[in-house]
Amino acid sequence: MKIKIDQISYYTPSRSVNNLEVESQINQKDDLIPYGTLNRVFGIENRHFADKEEMASDLAVKAAMPIVNKNGADSIDYLIFASACSDLIEPATCNIVQYKLGLKCPAVDIKNACNSFVSAITHASSLIECGIYKNILIVNGEKLSDAIQFNPGNTENLKKHFAAYSLGDAGVAMLLTASNATEKSSIEYQSSYTNGNHWNLCTIKGGGSMFPNDASKNYFEGHTSELHQVIGKEGSIFFHNSMKQSRWQMEDINAVFTHQVSMSTFNLISEITEIPTTKIHKIFPNFGNTAAASIPLSMAIALEQGKLKRGDKIAIIGLAAGINLSLQLLIF
Domain-by-domain residue ranges, the chain? 3-178, 186-331
| CATH topology agreement for domains 3-178 and 186-331 | yes
For the chain, give the secondary structure using H, E and C.
Answer: CCEEEEEEEEECCCCEEEHHHHHHHHCCCCCCCCCCHHHHHHCCCEEECCCCCCCHHHHHHHHHHHHHHHHCHHHCCEEEEECCCCCCCCCCHHHHHHHHHCCCCCEEEECECECHHHHHHHHHHHHHHCCCCCCEEEEEEECHHHHCCCCCCCHHHHHHHHHHHHECCEEEEEEEEECCCCCCCEEEEEEEEECHHHHHHEECCECCCCECCCHHHCCCEECHHHHHHHHHHHHHHHHHHHHHHHCCCHHHCCEEEECCCCCHHHHHHHHHHCCCHHHECCCHHHHCECHHHHHHHHHHHHHHCCCCCCCCEEEEEEEECCCEEEEEEEEC
CATH topology of domain 186-331: Peroxisomal Thiolase; Chain A, domain 1 (3.40.47)
Residue 183 has a pLDDT of 87
C-alpha span between 59 and 66 (Å, rounded): 13
Cα 321 to the center of its chain, rounded Å? 12
Indicate the class that CATH gives domain 3-178: alpha beta
The whole-number mean pLDDT for each consecutive block of 10 residues of the chain, a chain of 332 residues, reads 96 98 94 96 98 97 98 98 97 98 98 98 97 98 98 94 97 95 92 97 94 94 90 95 96 96 95 94 98 98 97 97 97 96
Residue 323 has a pLDDT of 96
Residue 59 has a pLDDT of 98
Residue 306 has a pLDDT of 96
Residue 30 has a pLDDT of 85
Tell me, yes or no, if the pTM score tops 0.95. Answer: yes
